[in-house]
Structure 1
């Protein structure tokens, strides 16, 4: 997860949600709450992953901090608000939304990613409003926002390596807001399930976060060496695999 986060600028949640959904069933979590706990746990893991990845990209001077402050604020609002909606939504609908979102994003990257036209950059107000939407979607699929932020920042004229680094930094406030939301909305819902607080399963957070700290910097360094076309194809392929896995799980 950490390696992928550093390489592609994503928080790694897209990878974790399908895996955690399969594993948490065996931890005594009720079936109708498994996906919600997977989303919350994944979001908590992204806190450490995004921090480690952003720190690595910052050292490589690949983070546009003014953009982080503007879009990060909007993402916090959208992410936190969306956790309330997710808590009231059936796991099946959340899973299907996750799969469709992954397919759409992969298609957009593969077939439209090379069409970068920067005739007019968005204003701070527009970027802020858009970031609220990005934060909301991120909470529903438990991602650090990279699959949305990287293509957007790239289209705004930011080179891909900088877009990846900036996305990683914005992923931190998304993860913090999302974790707080899932912790709050899950309060009292998983009573009796060991080591689970709200919709967050702590043992998984600890193990995954520790591994991510080590591997995220490695991915970040490689992202600055791979050709842009290869990086985009890897990104799109990852999203397709994740979408198929989640769709298969609910069929």
Structure 2
């Protein structure tokens, strides 16, 4: 039996420790740069836009004059759009995931469908805008309405929700299903009372990411022809509307310096809306994590 000298072992340990320390330093620098960029961005936005956050900014519609510009129509339009996107995308996404995981037989067809769903998650958003323009705006004659935009944005985030829901359902232990069947429960009762409650934290995690993407998307809405500035609020699902990202984009590209500050104020409102929406979803997720 050969014995390794203690000095050789110590040298190897020291080299490994130095190697680990080097990678630790690299990861720390990368994290610090990312956080520094985020802090600089937030500080710049808050310092530029906080002066425009007043009641007039929330009560006024869009305007060609910076001191009169507001986000009333854009804010209401974004909220209404999310009220359409969230239920449509979650019902279709979770329903598809349940069918593929619990009911569909494993075959080449289901594998092909699964592969295409995963690929759709990486398709550029403008492609979904063209799809929505063809189907919802022209074929179904929904026009530049809330309904057409809501359906289009739901298609955009649907693959992400399906994949996340499938992973969450797949992670539920088989023993829980078998115990439910052993107690005399039907397949549907097992899904609704055992599988879904245990999978909700994972489902909501994917849904949060998907809805966050939908809140900030502009390309599909531009393709649909959604107007940037409106002087009225939508009164039905078939009414025209505008959103915060479109309004911010319009302000940011204008040459007047004052509009840059107005755009920063709009970004602050958009971030607050995003934080509120995500906080609600995270609260629900954590509640189910504690229970199950």
TM-score by structure 1 length? 0.30
When Rg is computed on C-alpha atoms for both structures, the one with the higher figure is 2
Q: Which has the higher contact order (CA 8 A, sep 6+)?
A: 1
